[in-house]
Amino acid sequence: MDRRLTLANTRVAHSSLKAEFVSDKFVDGEPKQVAGYPFLLNAPQGDRDRQLLSGDMFLVIEEVNGCAFGQSMKDGYVGYVHGGLMPPREPTHRIVARSTWAYRTPDFKSQAAIKLHHGSQVAAVSQNGRWTEIDLTSPSEKNGATCFLPTAHLAPANSSESDPASVAERFLGTPYVWAGNTGDGIDCSGLVQAALLACGTPCPGDSDLQEAAFPDATGPYRRGDLMFWKGHVAMVTDPDTLIHANAHHMAVAYEPIANAIARIKAQGDGPVTSHKRPAYGAST
């Protein structure tokens, strides 16, 4: 079993695995909501695998000394999270800007309270023109806290977009960060996942899982197509150009497709392994 997708460790397993897994303890788990941007680790003190977003749902099946073991409910990725989990609340909006700031008062000159990133989900308290008041309750705040976000940086939580490449293009210049999923740092599969989820298309977290998830494309490259190499993924923006988060530029950057193919092969990472075309959800 792929440990990234198998909700079990040496002590506990999810109840759905009873027929196929041996464990001393099976549990249903408890859904919690992510506050902040913690990394999902491969062990309690291990390496980072992916990054969770504020508002993500996380199914916890074990919690020891503040470290939760469970599964990201948006993509099935399993791992360990230190802190930053709280009881769920219903989101009303999602962040559509690459990054934004929440302010203590509805004034962009006022004190900034917290930075939020694309794909994060928030709960609106009220809306007044260019400002939306949101509930920013965190695990350390018992009485709750509200702040104000620019309404222009929000969309309804249940809405979706139609052009994944335009979503990816919002991240141009974002630093390359292994396992990153935010406007402060993102990697190749994180960029593709952000673009596809914004368009209502389910998407795994790692490039090999993404390659297995989508159908092969036929014909010329089209905007929104995915190109895969061993350990890498990029998105086509036009028949001659792709966009990707990559360690060569150490950023999200455009690159001519022909150049990328030659460069990646020359550096020893092999040829293109597949050309995929996901079915994207319609804009709402």
Within a domain: 7: no
Residues 262 and 176 in one domain: yes
Confirm whether 115 is domain-assigned: yes
Tell me, what CATH number does 33's domain have?
A: 2.30.30.40
For residue 121, name the pLDDT band (cuts at 50, 70, 90).
Answer: very high
4 falls within a domain: no
Instruction: State the pLDDT at residue 283.
Output: 37
Asked whether residue 33 is assigned to any structural domain, the reply reads yes
Q: How far apart are CA 130 and CA 94, in angstroms?
A: 16
135 CB-near residues (< 8 Å, 6+ apart): 89, 122, 123, 124, 125, 144, 145, 146
pLDDT for residue 141 is more than 60: no
Q: How many domains does one find in the chain? A: 3
Cβ neighbour number for residue 163 with a 10 Å cutoff:
15
Q: In this structure, is residue 1 part of a structural domain? A: no
Residue 2 lies in a domain: no
pTM of the model: 0.94
Q: What pLDDT digit, counting tens, does each position of 152-204 carry?
A: 999 999 999 999 999 999 999 999 999 999 999 999 999 999 999 999 999 99
Q: Is residue 245 in some structural domain?
A: yes
Shared-domain flag, residues 177 and 271: yes
Q: Give the three-state DSSP class for 166.
A: helix
Residue 3 falls inside a structural domain: no
Alpha-carbon distance of 56 to 101, in angstroms, equals 18
Higher-confidence residue of 84 and 131: namely 131
Condensed to tens digits (0 to 9), the pLDDT of residues 124-134 reads 999 989 999 99
Average pLDDT on 146-150 reads 94
24, 55, 86 - which closes a domain: 86
Whether residue 101 sits in one domain with residue 49: no
**Domain residue limits at 172:** 164-276
Q: Is residue 85 within 8 Å of 53, Cβ to Cβ? A: no
Whether residue 209 has pLDDT greater than 60: yes
What are 43-80's pLDDT values in tens digits? 999 999 999 999 999 999 999 999 999 999 999 999 99
Residue 145's pLDDT is what? 77
